[in-house]
Structure 1
């Protein structure tokens, strides 16, 4: 059986049958060439566009570098104000960069990490960071704030972001935003400082007032007979200095264990 889909039979006056294509091979080749040329034109346009976009990308990277430098200066200035406070003078500042290249995508940025270590007045280490980076198209700069406190017994903003068009003026909005984050951090710092769950393992008793309090809140400290005495107020410390043997529960030089201090409510005036 003849495959009619593959050819067309045309009978000539001489009875000969010949097969003709619907179009000449020359026309078919011309159609192929046109398609190929169109594809090559598209490819050239795509390559040209890629070069143009890369040039624009590089220009935006230059603008971002200037914006990032400006933001970093603001961050350093504001952190300088924070660490100038005596309670934060032991803070450690670590600077890092976010420059890299992954799968052909380059990124640039910076990160500043602030760590507050455990100390005599701080029983919980705290840390937060401010990172500056750009979006994929390098059209906006992003300032990211992150804070970590573990375990979590208080509410706080663990993460926030500020997005800024690179071409825009940044000083005012960045300063206001960073100031708000730093004030929020200090608020959280004192929430931790006063929270009983964070201080539970560090309670001491004022030998004069007989009240428990976190040792980090001690107004003064005295050493007596191998004991470390913490005073909640200057007044209790003054009273102790006036009559130490009374508040220790035994005269100096006595064989009575000075650690056996009578509760305030059971003491008798001489």
Structure 2
């Protein structure tokens, strides 16, 4: 019996060592896995901290941008007020909308100011331009974007331009100068269109006194006589007509082959 017990003990010892070794290997594996998990969790916490810091900074920058946007829009509206106080542009329709420059799932922070000039006796084509105010991806700069639309296109003009300003910059001079330049450029383009024959050719009339063919938008005077609309290129021709209307009404048709005033004229100053 003692020999049997002894042999059993000796046989059990190696199995116990193997089990202990296996347990040690599993513990070492668990330790390695736990270390990796801890490291991953630490990285996530670091990322979360950075994200929170970035979010806090972004919220602060968005508040600064909102103030900058308000300031820029005030400048734009003030300068548009000067433009639209001119008789040629006082029929402009001003609209303002928010929600420009947004990405999916993000709060909209930009805005658009649009001015539309409808067709009229003096404007044969609808014209529209706009100023967008939005921020870049890091909310470091406010971006002011200008767009001008004229169809069809027969003249050269700047249809698109941008100005980037730091939202930390509280000065107005650069914005004022840039907006003024855009409005001056628009007015230059407006008169290029006004004097361009391709835009005016379907609106030509003849002065019954002078026999000159000219765009009706350039008429100095307009008279309604015997159910007819007469356009006078100068005040003098209108006065002369008033002295003897029957004479000119009887001879209007003979002037249809007269001088045509349709050359391209530009108000742009040459540099």
TM-score, normalised with respect to structure 2: 0.83
The Cα shift of 1:160 comes to 0.5
Which aligned pairs between 1:158-197 and structure 2 lie closer than 5 A? 158-197=159-198
Alignment correspondent of 2:50? 49
Deviations 1:181-238 (A, max 9, x none): 0000000000010000000110000111111100000000122222211011111111
The Cα shift of 1:100 comes to 8.5
Deviations 1:113-134 (A, max 9, x none): 0011111221111000011011
Which aligned pairs between 1:150-161 and structure 2 lie closer than 5 A? 150-161=151-162
Which aligned pairs between 1:1-270 and structure 2 lie closer than 5 A? 24-98=25-99, 102-249=103-250, 261-263=253-255
Equivalent residues of 2:213, 2:256 under 8 A apart: no
Question: C-alpha distance in 2, partners of 1:142/1:100?
Answer: 10
Question: C-alpha distance in 2, partners of 1:142/1:206?
Answer: 50
Higher RCO (CA-CA < 8 Å; seq separation 6+)? 2
**SS of residue matched to 1:133:** strand
Q: Which moved more, 1:138-147 or 1:105-114?
A: 105-114
Deviations 1:93-124 (A, max 9, x none): 00111269654322302111001111122111
TM-score, normalised with respect to structure 1: 0.84
Q: Indicate how the Cα distance of structure 1 residues 66 and 47 shifts in structure 2: closer, same or farther if over 3 A, else same.
A: same
Question: C-alpha distance in 1, partners of 2:59/2:49?
Answer: 15
Higher strand fraction: Structure 1 or Structure 2? 1
Question: C-alpha distance in 1, partners of 2:184/2:104?
Answer: 39
Unaligned runs of 5+ in 2: 1-10, 259-271
Higher helix fraction: Structure 1 or Structure 2? 2
Question: C-alpha distance in 1, partners of 2:95/2:117?
Answer: 12
Unaligned runs of 5+ in 1: 1-13, 251-259
Aligned length: 243
The Cα shift of 1:25 comes to 2.1
Question: C-alpha distance in 2, partners of 1:100/1:88?
Answer: 29
